[in-house]
Amino acid sequence: MSHPANEGHPVLDPVLAAPFPQAAFTVLRNTQLRKNVAHATDVIQGKRNRLVAEKTDWQELRSAASALRTHVLENLGHYLEQFEERCTAAGGVVHWAKDAAEARAIFLDILRQEQASDVIKIKTMTSAEIQLNPAIEAAGIKAFETDLAEIILQLGDDEPSHIVVPALHVNRTQVREIFARKMNLPELSDDPKELTNAARTFLREKFLRVPTAISGANFLIAETGSVVIVESEGNGRMCLTLPKTMITLAGIEKVIPRFQDLEVMLQVLARSATGERMNPYSSLWTGVTPGDGPQRFHVVLLDNGRSDILARRGERQTLKCIRCGACQNTCPVYRQTGGHAYGSPYAGPIGAILTPQLMHLEHAQTLPYASSLCGACYEVCPVKINIPEVLIDLRAQVTDKEREEERRFFDPMYLGMRIANFIFASAGRFRLAQWMGRLGLRLFTRKDGWIHSLPSLGARWTMTRDLRGLPDETFRRWWAARDRKD
Amino acid sequence: MDPISRQAILDRIRKATAGGAPDVAGSYAGLERSYVRSGKLGADDRIALMIERLREYDAEVVETAPDSLAEAIQEQLAASGRRRFVAPEGLPAEWLAEGFEWKIDHGLSTAEVEQAEGVVTNSFCGIADSGTIVLHHSAAEGRRIISLLPDWHLCVLRASQVVETLPEYFARCSEAPVLATYISGPSATADIEMTRIKGVHGPRFLHVVVERDEPR
């Protein structure tokens, strides 16, 4: 049986991934994947739009969420130190990791101290960012994902393609095939209920047996040192209640000032992420509570390029993100390509701005171009990240960097731009070029007034669309003639 | 912990945010918060909304007068067809209906909780707007494990504890809880083709007994 969603293992390491246009070209031929992605994003968007419409104070909530996140970033050092102090006082151990390698090393240290042979995991995109699972497996420890979508991916040797619904590119037939093979259940049907039950049984034993868990964090609360996890299935609650040890990985930007700030954040997150008034389960815990839940608790605060983003005034807003995925569901590019083409666990518009910055613009330079700049992502963003603005900023930086490195000196586009620059700088040259261009295009204009095919670089346009022939009179000539008449 | 990384990260953050608000508390206090805080509904409508939302999530809801609460719990337990229940340490004794096998959680092992067929707990608060049940895990709400492992959860919610909006819940918290669980319907997933399936890992059956303890 073929695995249309799994043609070759998707590469989500921006250092190794193919440039976006190349990767996108491959996925665009995968009609099954495109159908799956279109269906899932349509459903979530429909639900999200209905619930946002019923909320009369939606714009006020967005403004409050945006202001709050901006305030946090402006005072990030203050809030992180406060979180560290309160979490430590409550019995937690706080670690700081400057990059992915250091974060992985901290995890392995703790897991060795715990003498862990297995770990259970709550879905965390940050763990995919630092490529934690391969590191854990290399140390001989088995990592079990417990979110249904993540199990589908782990067992199917696949990678997440969406921040909130990571397996949205896989359909029920594919899930059935993976579960039947990996859980040894040949009789399994493709009924989602039966598939879900299979996962429940498969994981129940792990929840009850494995004493070490790893989670991400939706929010860290500075005032109390608490961690908040938002989920649907209850796998999160299992992992943060039953094990003896919990290790939480959180980007340094995840902190919010006070417990009460959740009144804003939870309202905007649930509606934006899954189109629910509230997700089925949210959990909050504070350090260690004697007799209830894990008795050893670690938090790993991850920088990995975030403090760099913080230093860029225009792009700092990227860090306001609360990972709701609404920009992915609405993006006309993501909706065609799905997530894998972005070559990063962070796909879609937010991925297009976050990934290259986390890579210090050394990799993933094509991602800022993976957008039509239509602005739909900005409109739905619950914390008002102006993604198109950041995309344009990053495009400029990518271009500047390439020019400095003279990498594009002989690139046809760069040459073309230089020539255009020369022509546009003088009215005489512009008039001359216009005259020559009109003369040239006339050769290709058919009787119906349309240009159906152009040679060379122009063919890239006419391959898929026609171009209207130029009218006989230019605007400039018409304008001049009009002046004379007056 | 590597103290060098900690300092290096904090230094980078401080450098990146230099010139930020010198008065963090003042800047926080001045943040824009023009969203809706208090609800508009009267008591009856508020409870009706809470119940409607709970039912949308497939929770079973019954209403009862204060003097027949114990009876209502008894009826729900009997109708469940289950026998072995676990209860938090601080659950009022009159809620422990006769004719069932009760295990009181004075620190039960995971295996013991796992064997229970259901659990009865109190709750801290209900939020009508989203149909959310809030547990702060006090003595009558129980440790987190007991409202997690059993497949059937009966939760008592007093009408006077139901607020309309999420901000109203936060206004009721005189201090932040150390532990909290927010339940908006039974465990669910939509990971396979966005088809909503009830009951993945948490309790698959959520029953709520609403005690009408405020005058109608």
How confident is the model at residue A356, as a pLDDT? 95
Q: What is the Cα–Cα distance from B43 to B90, expressed in whole angstroms?
A: 28
How confident is the model at residue A485, as a pLDDT? 66
Q: Judge: B194–A238 Cβ closer than 8 Å, yes or no.
A: no
**Do residues B127 and B159 make contact, with C-beta atoms less than 8 angstroms apart?**
no
Phi-psi category of residue A95: left, alpha or beta, with phi > 0 → left and psi -120 to 50 → alpha:
beta
**CATH top class, domain A61-306:** alpha beta
Task: Tell me which of B109, B138, B194 to substitute to probe the interface with A (most A C-beta atoms closer than 10 Å).
Answer: B194
Task: Please state the separation of Cα B79 from the chain's center in Å.
Answer: 23
Interface of A with B in 76-95 (CB under 8 A): 76-78, 80-81, 90, 93-95
Residue of A nearest to B9 (CA): A98
Task: Select the residue of A75, A226, A277 nearest B130 (Cβ to Cβ).
Answer: A277
* CATH numbers and ranges of domains, chain B: 42-211 (3.40.50.10420)
List per-residue pLDDT tens for chain A, 486 residues long.
Answer: 334 444 568 889 999 999 999 999 989 999 999 999 999 999 999 999 999 999 999 999 999 999 999 999 999 999 999 999 999 999 999 999 999 999 999 999 999 999 999 999 999 999 999 999 999 999 999 999 999 999 999 999 999 999 999 999 999 999 999 999 999 999 999 999 999 999 999 999 999 999 999 999 999 999 999 999 999 999 999 999 999 999 999 999 999 999 999 999 999 999 999 999 999 999 999 999 999 999 999 999 999 999 999 999 999 999 999 999 999 999 999 999 999 999 999 999 999 999 999 998 888 999 999 999 999 999 999 999 999 999 999 999 998 887 777 666 677 777 888 899 999 999 999 989 988 888 888 889 998 889 998 888 788 888 888 988 888 788 888 888 887 765
Question: What is the ipTM metric for this complex?
Answer: 0.96
Query: What are the strands, taking DSSP E only, across A41-181?
Result: 92-97, 118-121, 142-145
**Do residues B106 and B30 make contact, with C-beta atoms less than 8 angstroms apart?**
no
Other Cβ atoms less than 10 A from the Cβ of B100: the count is 18
Domain layout of chain A by residue ranges: 61-306, 431-485
CA distance A16 to chain B (A): 27
* Residue ranges of chain B whose pLDDT lies below 70: 1-2, 20-21, 215-216
What token pair was written down for B99? 């004719």
Which residues 6+ apart lie within 8 Å of A404 measured at CB? none
Q: What is the Cα–Cα distance from A297 to A147, expressed in whole angstroms?
A: 21
How confident is the model at residue A94, as a pLDDT? 98
Q: Provide the pairing of β-strand A467-468 with A450-451.
A: antiparallel
How confident is the model at residue A458, as a pLDDT? 83
Q: What is the Cα–Cα distance from B17 to A483, expressed in whole angstroms?
A: 55
**Do residues A237 and B147 make contact, with C-beta atoms less than 8 angstroms apart?**
no
Give which of A30, A40, A22, A41 is closest to A6, Cα–Cα.
A30
Q: Judge: A96–B6 Cβ closer than 8 Å, yes or no.
A: yes
Name chain A contacts of B178, Cβ cutoff 8 Å.
90, 224, 226, 285-286, 289
